[in-house]
Amino acid sequence: MTESLLLRAIRREPLPRRPVWLMRQAGRYLPEYRALRGKHSFAALAGDVDLATRVTLMPVERFGLDAAIVFADIASPLPAMGVDVTFDPGPVIARPIRDQAGIEALADTDPESIAPVVIATLSACRSALPRGTALIGFCGAPWTIAAYLIEGSGAREFPTLRAFAAARPGLLHRLLERLSKSMADYLIAQHRAGADVVQVFDSWAGLLCREDWERLVRPHLARMLEEVGATGVPRILFLQNAPHLVGAYAQLPAEVLSVDWRVDLASLQSRVGGRFAVQGNIDPAVLLAGPGPARAATLGLLDRVDAAGHIVNLGHGVLPETPLGSVEALVEAVHAGSAAAAGPRPFRSVT
């Protein structure tokens, strides 16, 4: 039984080569995804176990990536909390939460019943994937989920959310408390269903200054991570657009810190590499420039960042306009990064 490179990199073991996977690897830049998406809405794809399993496996089959991330959305567990959500193209909340009644109306969750389609998709993916390919479950961080619930949809800099945080800190506290419990339930259920690793996406981490983040957000995120960590599943913590908070996140309980391209990964590694593996952090926009720049950016990253405890990824998700050749060039550069690179693995496909 071969243990995945991803799990071994998380333990910072010496490896024949670094593991590589990409955030948003299952998405619109893939022709096979667009073909399926032509027939089904995003909600229909993510709401069907067989279709979601097929999409999850697509990028792994095409590029031989070291991990699959379950095809779902950060909004997928919200219906279990009684929240009405649609996609256009990002999550849109039918009745944004702006008062105590909205928070109290949220349904309690438990790991046995939350987001059953995502949970069944993880089991199906785990049986389809070879042991050496890791399966990643994920959720949104409480703050990032709260951002959608309060604002109502994605918005530039989330002004309604920031006004709410300033005016109603007690209510924000109550909302984050509920979300941190439900997201912990959700990740625990994903791990039980076969996720080898879980990633917490704090995509809107950077909206507050450090003092406000410490006071309003940190205790809830820390509690969620602790609860999930008690199961033993490794935790990847991703923060986006928040260079001023990286030092604070490096004090949270997790195994991997994943940062965007604004952060120098080599210097982060030299500061926290004794405690964390690091993940990232090629600028996804560089891939738009084609295979040459993608290869150069990858080789530059491999050169600067120490191999021990480094998981190669982008700094944020693959953009829909990304040429396939750029992703191929990135993956090839990682595979060629060591003479002892493993050959292609057998893959049992589900269709």
Looking at 70-78, 111-119, 212-220, 289-297, which segment touches ligand CP3 (CB under 6 A)?
70-78
Matching residue, tokens 């550069």: 333
201 binding ligand CP3? (CB under 6 A)? yes
* Partners of residue 235 on adjacent β-strands: 198
- How many residues belong to the site for ligand CP3 (CB under 6 A)? 22
Residues constituting the chain: 351
Query: Residue 11 CB, nearest distance to ligand CP3 (Å)?
Result: 23
Distance CA 158, CA 161 (A): 5
Distance CA 294, CA 318 (A): 12
Distance CA 173, CA 164 (A): 11
Per-residue contact string for residues 131-170; x = within reach of ligand CP3 by CB under 6 A: -------x---------------x----------------
Looking at 84-92, 216-224, 249-257, 323-331, which segment touches ligand CP3 (CB under 6 A)?
84-92
Nearest to 225 by CA among 274, 301, 276: 276
Output phi, psi for 314, to 5 deg: -85, 175
Alpha carbon 175 to its chain centroid, in Å, reads 22
Ranges of beta strands (E only) in 88-133 are 91-93
Query: Residue 227 CB, nearest distance to ligand CP3 (Å)?
Result: 20
Nearer Cβ to ligand CP3 (203/298)? 203
126 is catalytic: no
62 binding ligand CP3? (CB under 6 A)? no
87 binding ligand CP3? (CB under 6 A)? yes
Distance CA 162, CA 18 (A): 39
**CA dihedral (55, 59, 61, 66) positive or negative:** negative
Instruction: Identify residues 236-295 at the interface with ligand CP3 (CB under 6 A).
Output: 240
73 is catalytic: yes
Nearer Cβ to ligand CP3 (181/316)? 316
Nearer Cβ to ligand CP3 (96/154)? 154
24 is catalytic: yes
89 binding ligand CP3? (CB under 6 A)? yes
The one-letter amino acid at 79: P
Query: Residue 116 CB, nearest distance to ligand CP3 (Å)?
Result: 18
Distance CA 25, CA 90 (A): 16
Where along the sequence are the contacts to ligand CP3 (CB under 6 A)? 23-28, 37, 42, 69, 71, 73-74, 87, 89-91, 138, 154, 201, 203, 240, 317
Residues assigned a catalytic role = 24, 28, 37, 73, 148
